[in-house]
Amino acid sequence: MKHILHALFLSVTVVLTIAQNIPRNDAQTNTLGRSAETCGDPTDALPFYRTILAPASLPTRYFYSADISVLTTTFQEGGTLQAVASLLFTTQEESTVPMFRLNGADGEILYTANTTELETALLNGFTLASVDPETYVYPTQICGSVPFYHLHNAAKKVNFYTISTAEMQVFIGNGFSTVGIAGYVLPVGCTECE
């Protein structure tokens, strides 16, 4: 219950911060300064929470979700909320692509919007957490989005994702290597497309 309240408080804080920064829309301005032809509506973006899973027999795992019911189950199983990793969409928006969560037989958790990486992971024994994507991201850096960096520790079979280059450097210093960019997401506080 403590973790659920913490997640709800964090969600309310993020939503209020975003709401505070939403520019006023009038007849002379385009919808929140974005191009309806290219950008998803940033006010539809939800927090993408990073939780820590520490199973007894495995290394620490990082689990990400925007779904409160999924997070509730994670907390009941001993997961701990770490941060809001970014904002992203839980429904298809303009110019977004699905990002899938895959589970490895050894407990590895992988997130990808890249169809080649998805196919390779499935061939290597990963399974989709859900047939339907849970989240959507931009495939390129548009609409005020930022890179969602993917790092991997091959020895421990642990994946980590972040928008912070400083956090990325810390993980590289702790044995992780850069895989690439998993997709492009919105930073916390993003209220309009650029």
Distance CA 21, CA 19 (A): 5
pLDDT digits (tens, 9 = 90+) for 137-170: 999 999 999 999 999 999 999 999 999 999 999 9
CA atoms within 13 A on the CB side of 167: 11
What is the tens place of the pLDDT at every residue in 27-74?
A: 333 434 455 568 999 999 999 999 998 876 678 899 999 999 999 988
What is the count of structural domains for the chain? 1
H helices within the chain, ranges in order? Answer: 2-20, 68-76, 115-123, 165-173
The predicted structure's pLDDT at residue 68: 92
Per-residue confidence (pLDDT) for residue 58, from 0 to 100: 72
Alpha helices in 124-164 (DSSP H): none
Q: Which domain holds residue 105?
A: 2-21+45-185
- Residue 55: per-residue pLDDT: 72
Residue 102 domain-assigned (yes or no): yes
Most confident of 3-7, 12-16, 94-98, 187-191: 94-98
Residue 95 lies in a domain: yes
Q: How far apart are CA 54 and CA 141, in angstroms?
A: 33
Domain assignment of residue 39, yes or no = no
CB 171 within 8 Å of CB 151: yes
Give the Cα separation of 25 and 34 in Å (integer). Answer: 11
- What percent of the chain clears pLDDT 90, i.e. is strictly above it? 63
DSSP character for 187? P
Residue 40, in any domain of the structure = no
DSSP 104: -
Classify residue 191: in a domain, yes or no: no
| Residue 163 three-state SS | coil
Give residue-wise pLDDT tens across range 98-129: 999 999 988 899 999 999 999 999 999 999 99
Residue 27 lies in a domain: no
Q: How far apart are CA 188 and CA 122, in angstroms?
A: 31
Length of the chain: 194
- Which pair of tokens denotes residue 164? 């912070």
